[in-house]
Structure 1
Amino acid sequence: MDKLLTCEHCKKSFCSSSNVKRHIRKFHPGIIDPVKVKIQINMARCPLCEHTSSKSQLIDHIESSHNIKIEEETLKFDSFEDFEVWKENIERTTKSSFFKNGGSYFGKNCTTSKFECNRSGMYKSVSKGERHVKHQGSIKINSHCPAGIKLTQKGRECEVQYIKTHVGHENDLGKLFLSKSDRNMIASKLASKVPMDAILDEIRDNLGSGNLERIDLLTRKDLYNIQRAKRLNSTGIRHKSKAISLEAWVNEVKNTGCVLLYKPQSQFLDTYPTLKEEDFMLIIMNEEQYEILKEYSLDCICVDSTHGLNAYGFELHSLLVLNELRESFPCCFCISNRSDEEAMKVFFSVVRDKLDYTIEPRVFMSDMADYYYDAWTAIMEKADSRLYCTWHVDRTWRENLSKISSKETQSIIYKQLRTMMQETNEKIFKRMLESVLTSISNQPETKTFYDYFMKNYSNNTNNWAYCYRVQNGLTTNMHIEQMHRSIKYLFLDGKHTKRLDKAITAITKFCRDKLLEQLLIMNKGRLCSKISSIRTRHKISESLNFEDIVSVGGGWQVVSTSTEYYIHEENNACKCNLMCSNCGICLHRYSCSCLDSTIKWNMCKHIHLLGRYLKTFSADGEHVNTDVLYEPETETKAHVLGESSFATESPLNRICPPSMKDPFIASKKQVHDMLLHTESLLEKCKTVSQLDVIKNALRPIETTLNALECKKECIDPDEEYMLT
């Protein structure tokens, strides 16, 4: 029961003594000293009127003033366990709940505990007004219900004074919590990895078999609450203290060598003096990631960061490579409170020390911040080309176009910029760049945007223009963004966790699954995004005509309605897995001048058209008419096969006796044997749960047969035979 404080002068109630004193100073000045006022504590309010008194006096008040008989019962139990069983049965049958409000009183020879009705008490809102109050409202009735249990323990024996009568509320199931036994039962199933849908189905299948209980109203929210309370989904939490839990994880995996660097806050590392005492850094790379980094690091290196994986503002910096299927794989993670050049130098230095050599990639991709690439070139080797993410470039252009007041001018300049960026011919690109700069420099309203563009993009066109990234096979950092989304929404349930240890557990699980994908690719094969795009573009190419292909010099020309594309053979000895099975050529065989091939590094529809065209030539170079490559089977051949009695005789006719040659009779006997087997299983059942299994299996049979009988007139005879 919540404490209720009253003013002695006017009997007004308050929740704290400071409120009582403030009330006296304001409304009763000079009458009584607020410091010496005697405050009445543990006063109980009647649920039927405004009367307040002690609990014992409240019971007398309800009986005398409201003519309600308060029933009381005295019980004895041999042990506390017997009392708990009785209490749970009482709560289940009366649809009520009793909780212990406060501690127990320890006497010389006994221990006394008091349990009150869960509906008793005052509702105190702690809301900040940001959300609506829940629809069903509070379970508290803002008064005191007389029902309760007083437990006196003397050794193992328990004596109970039980007040049965509830006043001021109905015993609603919706206002009850799940019982302790029900919560433990559900927790055991969740711990056994039973899916939540299966738990809900099992409980709802038994709905209506008896009196409605609280567990029948089980929802998915209840399951999540139990899972959180029992910490069944927190495999990464080793201690309630976040710092101790993280330290325990580092010590646990120290022998595996996956932690390359761990610097907690409030410590200083002599090996890396650029890290301050208040800095935090954790670098993770296991042996499998190390091997993949060594194999693919000379092609493409992607580095980016994400936030929101913890409550400290630490960022996750990821280093990725692309495998032979052009899919991203995370090779190293760095969690740090700093995102600057010095911190990234430490990150790349640790990776270099692990490899024992410096990496010289063909392509280095990151966002438009320079500290990633500056730190990389200071520690590793300079890449052949450094690329900006196209999506980041486009976003910054859109944001800074607001410097232009006219919406129409913004649209025109944006279209010019996008057309210029996607131009694959370097000479044409330079002419377009000069034209665009001249255009925006001559207009007063675009002068601010012109200064911004000249400062950030005019001197580094090789980082963002398509003509400088032909055949690089990497246009955006969507590989990294997809990985960050997977970690957040698959392994963190779409929530921003407040614990760093849980975020690290999610990262390690993500790496485990990516390694499993690699094993599946190596042993079973898998439909990757590149193979899927190859198949899609092959289907698109089937709408194109062979007449559009013209042999030009050492290559081919594909004539389109708007422009012409040129295809050249690049590598005729490649035998990789990125192959079109219909055309018989791989991704590296030909290159096309279209954007899909040069920038996105796909096998475009023009290359598929060429592959289909070349496949129509025979070995001696003569063109073959593909429309008559296959002749349909003649009716004569089918008729000859039909004349053989052995060919038309089904296997059932050869192995079954004459009475079983009818499929319906054979199926009926099979069902009869199954029912006999079910009868033998029924004799072996010893528990109610085992009987429920057979009951649930047999229950829908009769209703299904009745439904088939009702629909018999509407069913086609052939369909009816299949159903039987």
Structure 2
Amino acid sequence: MSAMCKICEKEFSSQFNINKHLKNVHKTKPVAVSYKKSVWSYKCEEPSCNSSFYRNQGLIDHLLMCHNIEVESETRQFTTLQDFQEWKGDIEKATICNYVRLRGKKTSASSGRQTFYYNCNRTVLLYKREGDILENFPLEENYFCLIIMSQYQQHMLVKYGSNIIAVDGTHGLNNYDFELTTLMVVDNFNEGFAGAFMFTNRKDTLIHQIFFEVIESKVGNKISPNTFMSDITGVFYQAWSSVMGVVPFQLYCTWHIDRAWRNNLNKIPNIEKRKEVYKTLKVLHQNVDETSFRKQLDNMINFLFEDADTEKFGSYFKKYYYENCKLWAYCYRKHCGINTNMYLESMHKQIKYFYLHGTTVKRLDKGLHAVLQYSRDKMVEHLIKETKGKSSIHKRNILQRHMTAISSQFSAESIENSEGDNIKKWKLESDNNIYYLEQKSSDICCNNLIYDLCAICIHCYTCTCTDYYIKATICKHIHFLAMKNLSKGIKQNLSNDNVQPCTSQSTSEEIRTNMMCLTKQNHNALLNKSNLKEKILEKMSSINTKLQSSDLNFDEMDFGSQILNHLKTVDSLLTMKKSPSERSFNSKNDTNKRKIEPQ
């Protein structure tokens, strides 16, 4: 039995049988239910009730039968659509909300009546003014809280929240002590997308617990990411773990770690020792081998306590970074796909310097408008990328590694496999360092991040370099190995074993041809760069000679105006600045001081 009548506790095999039982036996109207809690859009907001419904009528019936709450309905008739729009506008002003049409009109086949459906589009999840007290949230009167999440943000949070969650706060968006906290996900283009915002003047674990509880209530279930990144205070993660649960990988932002170390290096009075300690810390920080990292960490602690000048910094380092080394060391964040809070830092700078023009605003509503405008623009940008496609920063980084590999000469050799090991391995020497590459047997292929010139994606090879492990990109060593395979005209690795590319045979042939042409073009471009000006002058002289000797009547020919337009384009290119750095965007002599505080 899978269902039970709540009135007589009789069990039935399906919900259909229960509905028939309610109609015939109890003479009651069946209640629309969901087999999964909190999965539909219409949710019951009563305390300790997690019911949700597919249609609005189901929620109305539930409130009446279970909570004895009757929803009042009112029917109005309008002579014209304009009268209805005016009435709707008055209702929106009175209730501080906005009703939007979810779909087009529906025409009845029998009566020909046209029907429009509108739904509330309010983005505010929680609003507490200073002086107010909320029954469900333990906040004192002097605290302010505003939580915002649109429907599209909710969609992105549910869709991509299982991978990476990044949370951070920023100041400077208003003249008060209100901080903006942003919850961000990483989309399929490896770019950040803000899932929710909170303005508040309280900065402890409790307020962020409320933030995540409100998000959980709106989304309908807990968000379980693989990686959670925040600052080094631990406030965000403590709140997240208490609401959403423990995350497999909790990471500190590398920038925050580096900044904290730099700020505390003044505990070392000797400048030369300070530099030596910092260099040793960075080597320790970027070590990707767990075994050698633990040895280096213990040696680092002993090294700091052996010298009286570095003993004070050693006590600080041991207290805050020795036990929790898994939160900041590179070797414990392999394949996590994130190393810094650069997505949030980029968003904060865009809002401050693009939407707020680099000045501190005195009113909260202006900062709020800037955040909403940013969210709207990112939504439109993401929709365009989903529809038309766009070159993301991750793809550009992969191309940059490919171009570096073209001009590099690495020493690569195949490693013999041990008995029973079918994974192909190579040892590659680069910049006096030894890296090891492996062919991955995974069948996963990421279509968005496939690199056609090498016929590979991130799932084809692994490399022990930092670029691959931490930044989750196809490094120059992998590009070099893949190009070496393609340049030989085979689909085998350096030891003549099979390599499974992510594309078909015909595509690989085309890619190999394009790669060879691209390599040839780049070498020719480097050789001919010094002769470029002479070639341009020679070409222009040849064109001038043809124009003088030509018998064509340009007044009667259509292409005369086309030639003139192309010449105007050439003239415009010649009058441009030599580089973008020489362009002057501010013609005033006085300095343009920004009032906003740096992040």
Letter in 1 for 2:554: F
Name the counterpart of 2:18: none
Instruction: Report deviation, 1:557.
Output: 2.2
2:554 maps to 1:664: yes
Name the counterpart of 2:126: 261
Instruction: Report deviation, 1:517.
Output: 1.5
Contact 1:342/1:375 (<8 A) preserved: yes
Instruction: Output the CA distance in 2 between the equivalents of 1:303 and 1:328.
Output: 11
Instruction: Report deviation, 1:561.
Output: 4.4
Instruction: Output the CA distance in 1 between the equivalents of 2:136 and 2:367.
Output: 27
Instruction: Output the CA distance in 2 between the equivalents of 1:615 and 1:388.
Output: 40
Select the residue among 450, 460, 465 that pairs with 1:579.
450
Contact 1:577/1:586 (<8 A) preserved: no
Instruction: Output the CA distance in 1 between the equivalents of 2:364 and 2:483.
Output: 54
2:341 maps to 1:496: no
Instruction: Report deviation, 1:253.
Output: 4.5
Letter in 2 for 1:251: I
Contact 1:260/1:283 (<8 A) preserved: yes
Instruction: Report deviation, 1:628.
Output: 13
Look up the SS of the partner of 2:485 in the other structure. Answer: helix
Q: CA RMSD in A?
A: 2.9
Instruction: Output the CA distance in 2 between the equivalents of 1:575 and 1:439.
Output: 45
Q: 1:620 to 1:492 in 2, by over 3 A?
A: closer
Instruction: Output the CA distance in 2 between the equivalents of 1:416 and 1:617.
Output: 42
Look up the SS of the partner of 1:664 in the other structure. Answer: coil
Structure 2, unmatched stretches of 5+, are 1-91, 100-119, 418-422, 497-508, 521-549, 562-570, 572-599
Contact 1:299/1:362 (<8 A) preserved: yes
Look up the SS of the partner of 1:577 in the other structure. Answer: helix
Instruction: Output the CA distance in 1 between the equivalents of 2:266 and 2:515.
Output: 62
Look up the SS of the partner of 1:614 in the other structure. Answer: helix
Bigger radius of gyration, 1 or 2? 1
Select the residue among 548, 554, 562 that pairs with 2:432.
562
2:273 maps to 1:409: yes
Letter in 2 for 1:257: R
Look up the SS of the partner of 2:96 in the other structure. Answer: helix
Deviations 1:507-529 (A, max 9, x none): 11111111112112111111110
2:241 maps to 1:377: yes
Instruction: Output the CA distance in 1 between the equivalents of 2:560 and 2:334.
Output: 67
Instruction: Output the CA distance in 1 between the equivalents of 2:559 and 2:98.
Output: 61
2:476 maps to 1:605: yes
Instruction: Output the CA distance in 2 between the equivalents of 1:260 and 1:628.
Output: 52
2:189 maps to 1:325: yes
Deviations 1:368-419 (A, max 9, x none): 1111111111111111011111111111111111011111111111111111
Contact 1:361/1:382 (<8 A) preserved: no
Instruction: Report deviation, 1:465.
Output: 0.5
Deviations 1:10-52 (A, max 9, x none): xxxxxxxxxxxxxxxxxxxxxxxxxxxxxxxxxxxxxxxxxxx
Contact 1:437/1:450 (<8 A) preserved: yes
Name the counterpart of 2:257: 393
Look up the SS of the partner of 1:415 in the other structure. Answer: helix
Look up the SS of the partner of 1:609 in the other structure. Answer: helix
Select the residue among 190, 198, 213 that pairs with 1:334.
198
Name the counterpart of 1:616: 487
Q: 1:549 to 1:513 in 2, by over 3 A?
A: farther
Select the residue among 444, 453, 460 that pairs with 2:317.
453
Q: 1:278 to 1:488 in 2, by over 3 A?
A: same
Letter in 2 for 1:425: D
- Structure 2 counterparts to residues 346-365 of structure 1, below 5 A: 346-365=210-229
Instruction: Output the CA distance in 1 between the equivalents of 2:416 and 2:377.
Output: 48
- Structure 2 counterparts to residues 155-304 of structure 1, below 5 A: 251-253=96-98, 255-273=120-138, 275-304=139-168
Contact 2:485/2:492 (<8 A) preserved: no
Look up the SS of the partner of 1:332 in the other structure. Answer: strand
Q: 1:426 to 1:574 in 2, by over 3 A?
A: same
Instruction: Report deviation, 1:443.
Output: 1.5
Letter in 1 for 2:331: C
Select the residue among 156, 160, 180 that pairs with 1:316.
180
Q: 1:609 to 1:621 in 2, by over 3 A?
A: closer
Instruction: Output the CA distance in 2 between the equivalents of 1:277 and 1:351.
Output: 22
Q: Percent sequence identity over matched residues?
A: 36
Q: 1:661 to 1:316 in 2, by over 3 A?
A: same
Instruction: Output the CA distance in 2 between the equivalents of 1:620 and 1:295.
Output: 36
Name the counterpart of 1:539: 403
Q: 1:621 to 1:487 in 2, by over 3 A?
A: closer
Instruction: Report deviation, 1:320.
Output: 0.2
Instruction: Report deviation, 1:616.
Output: 3.1
Name the counterpart of 2:461: 590
- Structure 2 counterparts to residues 91-102 of structure 1, below 5 A: none
Q: 1:312 to 1:664 in 2, by over 3 A?
A: same
Instruction: Output the CA distance in 1 between the equivalents of 2:259 and 2:447.
Output: 36
Instruction: Output the CA distance in 1 between the equivalents of 2:237 and 2:462.
Output: 30
Letter in 1 for 2:131: S
Q: 1:498 to 1:626 in 2, by over 3 A?
A: closer
Name the counterpart of 1:708: none
Q: Normalising by structure 2, report the TM-score.
A: 0.63
Deviations 1:185-204 (A, max 9, x none): xxxxxxxxxxxxxxxxxxxx
Instruction: Report deviation, 1:614.
Output: 2.2
Q: 1:493 to 1:609 in 2, by over 3 A?
A: same
Q: 1:549 to 1:356 in 2, by over 3 A?
A: same
2:329 maps to 1:426: no
Instruction: Output the CA distance in 1 between the equivalents of 2:456 and 2:513.
Output: 19
Instruction: Output the CA distance in 2 between the equivalents of 1:540 and 1:452.
Output: 40
Name the counterpart of 2:390: 526
Look up the SS of the partner of 1:444 in the other structure. Answer: coil
Instruction: Report deviation, 1:250.
Output: 8.6
Look up the SS of the partner of 1:357 in the other structure. Answer: coil
Instruction: Output the CA distance in 2 between the equivalents of 1:272 and 1:669.
Output: 74
Instruction: Report deviation, 1:544.
Output: 2.7
| Bigger relative contact order (CA 8 A; separation at least 6) | 2
Instruction: Report deviation, 1:572.
Output: 4.0
Contact 1:250/1:259 (<8 A) preserved: no
Instruction: Report deviation, 1:548.
Output: 2.6
Instruction: Report deviation, 1:562.
Output: 1.1
Q: 1:588 to 1:615 in 2, by over 3 A?
A: same
Q: 1:592 to 1:267 in 2, by over 3 A?
A: same
Q: 1:250 to 1:484 in 2, by over 3 A?
A: farther
Letter in 1 for 2:249: S
Contact 2:454/2:515 (<8 A) preserved: no
- Structure 2 counterparts to residues 24-63 of structure 1, below 5 A: none
